[in-house]
Structure 1
Amino acid sequence: MYDQFYGFSGRPFQLTPDPAFYFESGTHRKAMSYLGYGLAQGEGFIVITGDVGAGKTTLVGHLMNTIDANRLTAVKLVSTQVEGDDLLRLVAEQFGLEWEGQSKAELIRAMEQYLREQARAGRRTLLIVDEGQNLAISALEELRMLSNFQLGGHSLLQIFLLGQPEFRQTLFHSPTLEQLRQRVIATHHLDPMEPEEVEPYILHRLGKVGWTGNPSFSPEAFELIFDYSGGVPRKLNVLVSRLLLFGAVEELHRISGHHVRSVIAEIEADRGIDEATLAPAPVEEVVELAAAMAPVAVPTAPTEWPPATPDAAPFAAPAPADPPAVDPEQLAALHEQIARLEARISEQDDALRRVLDLLIEWVERDPENAPNPARSQVWAA
């Protein structure tokens, strides 16, 4: 929707990584330097880590776009929580090799043959493994084994490992990975962007879709965007995307600090609803509350006065009644009723989200359907 309102050729702040929007911040420039150094060496492991949303995938996509396919065959593998043998099958599949029904020894021979053929054709081979924090120790050991392949004293395979910060802990502190550590020739951690990089980053991505100054941003807006996002690209993209949608709905041509605060408040309110209001109470709490609210049986008065108990004082207060025993069948029925209520709440929540998605899609297809403040006032009147 906002891309139509502002005349953009696309959406510059989508969450899907797009190398076309690559921005070379200081930390990304260093990472590219290490990757370039690694490519020049043609061997060993290069390790790049960063927090979620730091731009690792975009960085790799940009690198892939700069590679000459005639000289370097690069394949990318997004790893999952697999052991060594399964990783070999995944790598073989990326190389275009048949792996079904193959033993481990046959797979290794087929991959070595493939790498030798690439080398004889004058091409080096690069394997990029993303989400390295998901790899088991055995999988990392298999990668080290693949890096042993050589032809004429030259390595046949170079490996880039990308992962979240915990991957560094696994790689550099696991006693069983000492041999792999000795093959790491460079490593870099992607830090968040600096405050002064936020404005160039936003304007760079806007410029990729034909931005000509509409909307403009106040200096305070850039400051607040950095404060909220912490300089993490993905968090920044989420916020600026919401800002542009807000600006289109409100027909704004300049985004100020006040507007940024309003959108941040909306995001935080959405999170509060998702995490608190929409979350059903635990069954145990509901059962406790129901038990506390259950009617208490009140003892009836004796049929004769004074009570027919010789030792009892004529005016003594009756002893408090024991709490009623819990009927297991009633408790099971209460659990079942609570489960049905929770299921209905979940169904209503899903239905509400589907309606909101359809509404947003409808508005985005036809910008004339977008709410207009003046029109809303007339309707309200």
Structure 2
Amino acid sequence: MFYASKLHKRALAYLQYGLSQGEGFIVITGDVGTGKTTIANQLLAQLNQDEIIAKQIVTSKLEPDDLIRMIASSFNLVVTEHNKASYLDAIYSYLKRLHAQHRRALLLVDEAQNLPLAAIEELRMLSNFQLNGKPLLQSFLLGQNELNAIIQAPNMEQFRQRIIASSNLSAFAEEDTKAYIQYRLQQAGGQSSLLSDQCYPLIQRYSRGIPRKINTVMDRILLFGYLEEQPVIDADAVQMVLDELAQEIANQPAIAMPATSPTPAPAASASVSSKTMLHELTAMLDNELEQKLKMAKELDALLKRQQQLLNSRENNDNTD
């Protein structure tokens, strides 16, 4: 199902080029849902497991020591003492063993924009693990556009010098969105003519050309077309789905913000903070439950519709 648009082809080519170099950093950035992780998975699927041991980690706001522990854990390394020196020693020993086996390690860091500067600098220090002048670990960074600003910080010059290629993924133009939808329909065994041409501008306007949002809205459009038994989905059907989605978003409960009040004493502040967090968490859980109930109702309607179709066919058969 991987659709290789021009930008995605370029980003994948950069990853493959960086892989062939065996050193330095490759940086792929883009907005949420533009396909960074999809490209990383596509690269991983193409790797020769006998030559490259690749691991992918998804980061939050990890401090350097926590990042080192996560990397060691991703490669299934065991340490006897849980301190930074032990973890670094375990990583270095593991990389040397791979080198002796004519293999090497690859680390893909997803959501890298969440890393503080010190943690990114720690990744650069790991690239100093070398034998005979050859780096033992190579890292690819995938992140949202904020990662570019982090890398451009004045104290990141040494890191920038080790970036051998970078690419930025942007949203699809309307013609790309149309080609993307038609490609996925064909890959799933359908016909590209399932949607009329007037549907695509509406889908483009709603999704803004972001692949993940295109996938989401197309799921609903196809479900609607199935339930309504439309052999060709027209613009009116798409607009009805978009109106339903807009109504659902409008009906979602908002998380109440705490009222502004004078600064309390430390103990009272902790209590207010806890109550606020509990209130927000409850609202989030209520919202999630509401969404699941909605999905259950949609599934129930779909099953009832299928049963009606089966009953209708059985009646027709009995009549015959």
User: By the TM > 0.5 criterion, same fold?
Assistant: yes
Aligned to 1:320: none
Q: Alpha carbons of 1:355 and 1:233: their partners in 2 closer, same or farther (altered >3 Å)?
A: closer
Counterpart code for 2:115: L
Aligned 8 A contact 2:174 2:201 in 1: yes
Q: Distance in 1 between matches of 2:288 and 2:196?
A: 38
Match of 1:197 among 157, 176, 190: 176
1-structure distance, mates of 2:143, 2:255: 35
1:137 paired residue number: 117
Q: Does 1:358 align with 2:279?
A: no
Match of 2:217 among 239, 243, 266: 239
Indicate how the Cα distance of structure 1 residues 233 and 97 shifts in structure 2: closer, same or farther if over 3 A, else same. Answer: same
Does the Cα contact within 8 Å between 2:227 and 2:302 map onto a contact in 1? no
AA of the residue aligned to 2:246: E
SS of alignment partner, residue 187 of structure 1: strand
Identity in percent: 39
Distance of 2:70 and 2:55 partners within structure 1: 11
Name 1:154's counterpart in structure 2: 134
Alpha carbons 2:18, 2:165 under 8 Å: kept: yes
Which structure is larger by alpha-carbon Rg, 1 or 2? 1
What letter is aligned with 2:97? E
Corresponding residue to 1:127 among 94, 107, 113: 107
Contact 1:38 1:185 in 2 (8 A): yes
Which residue of structure 2 lines up, in the alignment, with residue 116 of structure 1? 96
CA apart distance, 1:109: 1.3
Q: Secondary structure at the match of 1:255?
A: coil
Change (3 A) 1:268 1:183: same
- Are 1:218 and 2:156 an aligned pair? no
Cα separation, partners in 2 of 1:261 and 1:99, compared to 1, 3 Å:
farther
Contact 2:96–2:136 under 8 Å retained in 1: yes
* Equivalent residue, structure 2, for 1:368: 306
Decide whether the 8 Å contact of 2:80 with 2:86 is kept in 1: no
Cα distance between partner residues in 2 of 1:167 and 1:350: 30
Write the letter of the residue equivalent to 2:212.
R
The aligned runs of 1:38-187 (5 Å cut-off) are 38-99=18-79, 101-172=81-152, 174-187=153-166
Q: 1:208 to 1:181 in 2, by over 3 A?
A: same
CA contact (8 A) 1:26 1:193 kept: no
Q: CA RMSD in A?
A: 2.8
Using the alignment, how far apart are the partners of 1:176 and 1:67 within structure 2? 34
CA distance 1:345–1:238, change in 2 (3 Å): closer
* CA 36–260 in structure 1, closer or farther in 2 if over 3 Å, else same: same
The separation in 2 between residues aligned to 1:137 and 1:163, in whole angstroms, is: 14
For residue 269 of structure 1, report the CA deviation from its aligned partner. Answer: 1.4
Q: CA deviation at 1:162?
A: 0.5
Amino acid in structure 2 at the alignment position of 1:222: Y
CA-to-partner distance for each residue in 1:32-80, whole Å, 9 max, x for gaps? 1111110111101000001000011111111100111111111101011
> Equivalent of 1:261, from 239, 248, 252?
239
Aligned residues: 290
Deviations 1:151-200 (A, max 9, x none): 1121111100000001110111x222221111111110001122222222
Q: Partners in 1 of 2:124 and 2:180 — Cα distance?
A: 37
Partner of 2:198, secondary structure, is: helix
Q: Residue deviations 1:199-239, cap 9 Å, x none?
A: 221122122322246x7111111222122212110111111
With normalisation by structure 1, the TM-score equals 0.70
Is 2:249 the counterpart of 1:271?
yes
Structure 1: which 5+ residue stretches go unaligned?
1-20, 285-343, 375-381
SS of match in other structure, 2:3: coil
Separation in structure 1 between the aligned mates of residue 110 and residue 45 of structure 2, nearest angstrom = 17
Shift of 1:352: 5.4
- Cα distance, 1:365–1:36 mapped onto 2, change above 3 Å: same
SS in 2 for 1:254: coil
| Residue identity matched to 1:242 | R
Contact 1:70–1:123 (CA under 8 A) maintained in structure 2 = yes
Map residues 28-47 of structure 1 onto 2, 5 A cutoff: 28-47=8-27
Distance 1:282 1:128, change over 3 A: closer
Residues 75, 354 of structure 1: CA spacing in aligned structure 2 closer, same or farther, 3 A cutoff?
A: closer
Structure 1 residue 102: Cα displacement:
2.3
Q: Which amino acid aligns with 1:198?
A: T
Distance 1:359 1:31, change over 3 A: same
Q: Distance in 2 between matches of 1:195 and 1:149?
A: 46
Decide whether the 8 Å contact of 1:363 with 1:369 is kept in 2. Answer: no
Q: Deviations over 1:216-274 (max 9, x none)?
A: 11111122212221211011111111101111121111111122221111111111111
For residue 345 of structure 1, report the CA deviation from its aligned partner: 9.9
Distance 1:63 1:51 in 2: 20
Which is richer in helix? 2
**Structure 2 segments unaligned to the other structure (5+ residues):** 260-281, 313-320
Normalising by structure 2, we get a TM-score of 0.83
- Tell me if the contact between 1:195 and 1:226 (Cα under 8 Å) persists in the aligned partners: yes
